[in-house]
Amino acid sequence: MVSSSAFMLPSLRRYHPHVSLITISIQVNDPAEVASAIEQARAAASEGAQLVEWRVDELAVEAAGHKACHALVRDTPMPCILTCRMVEEGGHFGGDESDRVGLVDSLVKAGIAPKYIDVESVAWRRDRDLRMGVGKLLAESECGLVLSTHDFEGRPDDLARQLDVMWAEDDAAVVKVAWMARSIRDSLEGMELLAEAAGPMIVVCMGRFGVMSRVLAGKFGGLLTFASLGEAQTTAPGQLTVDQLRNQYRFDSVSPSTSVFGIMGDPVEHSMSPLLHNTGFDLANFDGVMVPMPVIEGWESFKASLACLLDQPALNFSGLAVTSPHKENLSRFVEEVGGTLTPMVRRCGSANTLVVLPDGSLVADNTDTEGVVGPLRQVMTLKGSKVAMLGAGGAARAAAIGLLLEGAEVVVFNRSEERALALVDDVKARMESPVSIEYQSGGPQSSDGFKAVINMTTLGMDGGPDPSASPLEALGGSAEVLTEQMIVFDAVYSPLETPFVRQASRSGATVITGDAMFLAQAARQFKTWTGATAPMDTWMALLGS
């Protein structure tokens, strides 16, 4: 039999708890796809993938499918896992178990063996013929058994029992568990499982709440993390591409000592923060990684998520960039646990930056004010200028305070009158002297003395509540407010060219796009976390691309 030891990767021959391999997962649905699948694997290997998982769910039934599987295993450009996933665990194999037994028997007869073969734990336990067939393949080659369980609904209630059963199986070389994450707390539990594993283990928390489990697999001893060659070729929710893992998330550099930072809010999937900060970490030779940490709206979900992060010593959790809707929750949390609020946070009542000091104490800062005021200050005189502000969230409060401190007059427009009035009253109470801030219903109808219009909502943002909307019309305003003399500032930076920005550009207004605010904030955060100066030229190039 052709031995799988033809590929002698040390981390596959002997378990190393802190080497995690990027595994490209490729689904092959028809024998005619074998050649292109092999080429995809070669391309993935050239990008840095170290294993390939052949998903052959639909090739187990007929002899032609078996021969296709032989070719995939025989001609693989790197060590491979052969997986025929049944429907009940998220795959496409819906045949009789004898079909999978036939596939395994054909491999034995052909003298071909993958590095690993993946079999669901439930199928392994209930089907004697499958155990016998796979057992023969294991005995006659160096193929290893990945015993797995998957739940696309959420964390299994009996997860501990399932793990006990799989760890007790002598034939299992690797134990794999995958479930759909419902919060980042699922990812943290998954990483705890890896840290406590008795041997080689794969933990996959699927979906948007599970991305950090994929990026940090190596930090906690995961044998591998799955990836795809392109975003259109993913085989599970939340799966990243090889390029994203290596170039956006510094996967090859993540180790047990790596400091972990997060971008926390909802949504955060389209945030550029991880790309910019991780690029900066790399250029500064700083051992850190930033990952997306989506947390749904609400104080309780925020409090529980942040508390869990802080309660994981092995995570080396070191800080957060916080966005909507949790900026007010961050300042509240840090104050309640006895941390330090900077003067600007105390004045704004919200924070967008968390620093976890070496002794575990917390510092909350707010860089939103300078992020808004700084770019505006470069193109206009704020003192005495009337500014229309769209939005009434945490970022809007910080922007209003920054503008008022510069002597501007602020008029707030927002869909929720109650929230807008609350912001106006709150801001007035926070200022040491009388200021000019008021609420007007609807949106601005004409220029009406306004020198600037700033959007502090998430309307127009990729992944936001309405990416195609302009906040001006959404709030009941009129495009007549946009004139050649107007300064227009949009805090949304993904994309840079929002519907509001396009609308303002057509009017001839002077436009400040969201990257100006974003870069100013990010640079200050980067300096706070690393002590290094942010690589602004590189960051601007990344945003421009």
Q: Which residues are catalytic?
A: 327
Which tokens is 391 given?
Answer: 């939005």
Are 400 and 349 contacting, i.e. CB atoms less than 8 angstroms apart? no
* Rounded-to-integer distance, Cα 328 and Cα 228, Å: 37
Contacts of 494 (CB under 8 A, 6+ apart): 270, 271, 272, 461, 462, 463, 514
Contacts of 333 (CB under 8 A, 6+ apart): 302, 303, 306
Residue showing tokens 């910080």: 398
CA 478 to chain centre: 37
Are 237 and 226 contacting, i.e. CB atoms less than 8 angstroms apart? no
Are 501 and 469 contacting, i.e. CB atoms less than 8 angstroms apart? no
Are 179 and 150 contacting, i.e. CB atoms less than 8 angstroms apart? yes
Q: 391: phi > 0 → left, psi -120 to 50 → alpha, else beta; which? A: left
Which tokens is 87 given?
Answer: 């429907």
Q: How far is CA 24 from CA 32, 40, 116, 310, 350, in A?
A: 20, 9, 14, 32, 42
- Selection from 69, 77, 55, 56 nearest residue 6 by Cα: 77
CA 440 to chain centre: 38
Q: 310: phi > 0 → left, psi -120 to 50 → alpha, else beta; which? A: alpha
Give the CA-trace dihedral at 447, 451, 457, 463, to 10 degrees: 90
* Rounded-to-integer distance, Cα 210 and Cα 292, Å: 9
Residue showing tokens 């052709």: 2
- Selection from 69, 62, 54 nearest residue 108 by Cα: 69
